[in-house]
Structure 1
Amino acid sequence: MTVLVITGTGTEVGKTVTTAAVAAAAVAAGLSVAVLKPAQTGVVPGERGDADEVARLAGAVTSVELARYPEPLAPATAARRSGLAPVRPQEVAEAAGKLAAAHDLVLVEGAGGLLVRFDDEGGTLADAARLLDAPVLVVAPAGLGTLNTTELTARELRFRRLDLLGVVVGSWPDEPDLASRCNLADLPVVAGAPLLGALPGGAGRLPPSDFRASAGSWLAPRLWGTWDAETFAAERTGG
């Protein structure tokens, strides 16, 4: 796996912090890592974007941002309203390919969900993943409602014949409710793919040194960590 595409079931699900955790775990495993953010919205020039945040948390990674739009909207809408050129899937694939030639691993972090549009022609992160022939990691919330959005995302990936590597819970609550605990068993069923990690709520607020030291314990071996889904679920459900 040279390129991994990371998407969410929606916005504010912990995608950037998950990307940082995967990057940190891979760096700790001895890999050279690059992080590509195709379209950053809601951030003006001079402000830190998601790629900058990943680099802050993960440490020695190359971070690249292809386009930035000031309004917090879908990339296609933000590009149109700003009068700036949109990012297109082919550009994303080309940029990731160049980074892959110089790094062991390239993480491509999308904006929002899988089908959020990059341009007015309907280009999406899914199209970029197809051009790259890259697996996709889905970041999902823990609680009520996550099963529907996770299954819809997984079905779209299968429809497009894209490889769903697995699902990561982007923010596991300190006091999980019944739905969150049950979802540990149900998420891999509806996704048809393994649960590959769970990040504790507030992980992104940890000091970078603590974040890097802990990242591997939140992720499964497939993501260069030590986390075990069965153990995690048993400790939180009494199973």
Structure 2
Amino acid sequence: MSKGLFITGTGTDVGKTYITGLLLKKLNDAGFNSAYYKAAMSGNEKDENGDLIPGDATFVKNISGISQDVKAMCPYIYETAVSPHLASKIEGSPVELDVVEDNYKRLASQYDYIITEGSGGIICPLRYDNKHYLLEDVIKLLDLPCLVIADAGLGTINNVVLTIDYMKTRNIAVKGIIFNRFHPGDVMEEDNKKMCEAYTGVPVIAGVKNDSKEIELNGIFLASLFE
């Protein structure tokens, strides 16, 4: 039976896609049959034929080495670099949760482990018209536990604690925190780890240095986080 894990972040540009690629690389290198999924992807460029290229999906595929077809990774792809709810108002094709679920189930029939990446931070509107969907609706729909990606630097205590507190009030399971742009031995960043764990009760399971090609996590441990 397929298992899943959801990757969210404390905000935009904290490195969710980069970390997701490293996590999938770890699973792939350890021999786990794994895949990538993202419900909605904004800020994509067009190829020479005018077709949108799913940038995050392409990046993850390249860094992880997984064989999955990029076209199966994301059902909603937008060009405008804004939240999916606004991108779909501009471009059309608003997110439908049954489409998100059906595409996920299709992957679940083919892969043992699926990492689903969110858009932006945890409070990201996916649709706001006659229907109102937030990122958390996808998490609950697919019944996934989460990892939270955060920048290791100044301000992360506030961002991490607020993000995880919000998730807990929504009964969303958080399995761990990963610090991106981490400098081992840095007094402030080491203290950030300690404070985030103390105030959330959630462990910081890894710190990823700038431009790392690997994440220092055991593949079997990583697989154990999936449900």
Aligned to 2:14: 13
The one-letter amino acid paired with 1:150 is V
Displacement of 1:172 after TM fit?
A: 1.2
Percent identity (aligned): 28
Aligned to 1:39: 40
User: Could you tell me whether the CA contact under 8 Å between 1:167 and 1:197 is conserved in 2?
Assistant: yes
Question: Structure 2 length normalisation: TM-score?
Answer: 0.85
Question: Structure 1 length normalisation: TM-score?
Answer: 0.81
Q: Does 2:78 align with 1:85?
A: no
Displacement of 1:52 after TM fit?
A: 0.7
Unpaired segments ≥5 residues, structure 1: 204-210, 226-239
Displacement of 1:196 after TM fit?
A: 1.4
Matches of 2:137 and 2:45, distance apart in 1: 27
Aligned to 2:109: 101
Q: Does 2:216 align with 1:223?
A: no
Aligned to 2:188: 179
Matches of 1:184 and 1:28, distance apart in 2: 28
Q: Which protein has the bigger helix share?
A: 1
Gap change, CA 1:98 and 1:111, over 3 Å in 2: same
Matches of 1:132 and 1:42, distance apart in 2: 24
Aligned to 1:115: 123
Q: Any idea what the Cα deviations from partners look like across 1:129-153, whole Å, max 9, x if unmatched?
A: 1111110111011011111121111
Matches of 2:223 and 2:181, distance apart in 1: 19
Matches of 1:187 and 1:43, distance apart in 2: 33
The one-letter amino acid paired with 2:168 is R
Q: Any idea what the Cα deviations from partners look like across 1:94-121, whole Å, max 9, x if unmatched?
A: 3222211210111111111011011013
Q: Any idea what the Cα deviations from partners look like across 1:213-238, whole Å, max 9, x if unmatched?
A: x33x256863259xxxxxxxxxxxxx
Q: 2:205 aligns with which of 196, 203, 219?
A: 196
> SS at the partner of 2:126?
coil
Displacement of 1:181 after TM fit?
A: 2.2
Matches of 2:11 and 2:44, distance apart in 1: 18
Aligned to 1:125: 135
Unpaired segments ≥5 residues, structure 2: 48-52
- Quote the RMSD (CA, aligned, Å): 2.1
The one-letter amino acid paired with 2:221 is R
User: Could you tell me whether the CA contact under 8 Å between 1:17 and 1:170 is conserved in 2?
Assistant: no
Number of residue equivalences: 213
Q: Any idea what the Cα deviations from partners look like across 1:61-105, whole Å, max 9, x if unmatched?
A: 4241211211111110111112x2122344323322221121011
Matches of 1:58 and 1:222, distance apart in 2: 18
Matches of 1:81 and 1:90, distance apart in 2: 22
The one-letter amino acid paired with 1:147 is I
User: Could you tell me whether the CA contact under 8 Å between 1:33 and 1:106 is conserved in 2?
Assistant: yes
Matches of 2:198 and 2:221, distance apart in 1: 18
Matches of 1:34 and 1:98, distance apart in 2: 11
